[in-house]
Amino acid sequence: MLLALPCAALTLFPWNFASKRQQLELFARRSAHSVHEIALPPSAELAARLWTWIDAVRAAGEPAVLSLPALDERELASLAQLLDAAPDSLGLALQRLPDDAGARGLLAHASPARPSTGAPRVSAEDAEAHTRAWVRRALSPSGLALCPYTASDRLAGVKLEGLGVKSAPILHAVSLATESSRLLADLWECISQMTAGGEEAYSSIVLSAPAFDDRWQEWHQDVFPLLEETVLACGLGRVLGVVCFHPYYETPPPSFLARHRFGHMHGLRTLRRWLDEQDKELSARLSDEELLWASSYMRRSPHAVVNVLWSRQLEVAEQKRSSSRLYASNIARIAAAGRSRLEQASAEERTFSGASANSDSSVRTEPGVGSVGTPDLSTETG
């Protein structure tokens, strides 16, 4: 009897699998839906393929079926609620497949395809050059030094060796996507590359999305909530940290931060308390408007940028630094540099040609998909 059980399983499983597949195909034909399958557990790779599918459904403007056989009911429920974070952004809704579909998965209902937003005004090469120049000027020690763990536009994760963190290259990328669904597909392809390589391969991702430069509201109200939900739905909340940057970044109001703290600058009340603790004289000089501008400037970049970090390294950094001291110090540097000077530097950074400034960078262009820069693996400091 014990020997017969595996044999029964071997004969029944293919029949059962074929039966479910046939049932799914019958459901799809009956409802005139296309069928796609992603047989992956929750992961960055799953997220990349999922957003590629979502973007294809959005572009086609027709309903579609996605089979997800590797997910359990809880994981599937999380993905089904993914687009609830920005329900009006894509003209698309997700729901779980009904019981008569014969498989676990998602059903996408799409509105007719909308006209695409215009292409970005800069090339991928220039966008990467602008962003690298900003990393050097604003984040690295050769400039304002707003990030103590960034050595240059090439290398980050420094000064944490004693706590078990090795410095590693920054993975620079550019997405020329004009729709948030395509952008998120491009971003998750990079995240998949980062997680596959591990901490020794990449310290972080800096992805520029120049088509969103003039779309701050969409950037923080749609793109980042969708990114947050994807991180959580794919079980990566304790693996990845994400930071929001934008040319017109403004710290969102407390009501927004209460719902979507993910990736954003601390609110005015917290920053004022920290500044009072660390530098009462400066705090007395800065009005609320000036403090908000200085804190927002910490997140101003030449293009819309997503910065992806390792959660473990962020936790390690918290052991070494004092948040109140770090932010107070950054605000002091920004105030000392002067608003007009910094605004001028930012404006110049967005417009220069990167052909000569970034001649050593390699950019791969894929028509219809966007443009993704290859990682610079040099460990030189600039």
User: Mean of the pLDDT values across residues 154-175?
Assistant: 95
Say what the pLDDT of residue 366 is: 33
Q: Which two tokens stand for residue 330?
A: 């950054």
Which of the two residues, 368 and 55, has the higher pLDDT score? 55
User: Cβ neighbours of residue 154 under 8 Å, at least 6 residues apart?
Assistant: 169, 170, 376, 378, 379, 380, 381, 382
Q: Which two tokens stand for residue 197?
A: 């390589």
Highest mean pLDDT among 4-18, 109-123, 276-290: 276-290
Q: Which two tokens stand for residue 234?
A: 């794919």
Which of the two residues, 102 and 28, has the higher pLDDT score? 102
State whether the Cα torsion 53-58-61-65 is positive or negative: positive
Say what the pLDDT of residue 101 is: 80
pLDDT confidence bin for 321, thresholds 50/70/90:
confident
Distance of alpha carbon 92 from its chain centroid, rounded? 20
pLDDT tens, residue by residue, 84-108:
999 888 999 999 998 888 889 999 9
Cβ-contact 184, 51 below 8 angstroms: yes
Say what the pLDDT of residue 22 is: 61
pLDDT confidence bin for 356, thresholds 50/70/90:
very low
State whether residue 105 is helix, strand or coil. strand
Counting residues of the chain whose pLDDT is more than 90, the rounded percentage is 72
Question: Which burial class, exposed, middle or buried, applies to 74 when counting CB atoms under 10 A from its CB (0-12, 13-18, 19+)?
Answer: exposed
d(CA 108, CA 117): 22
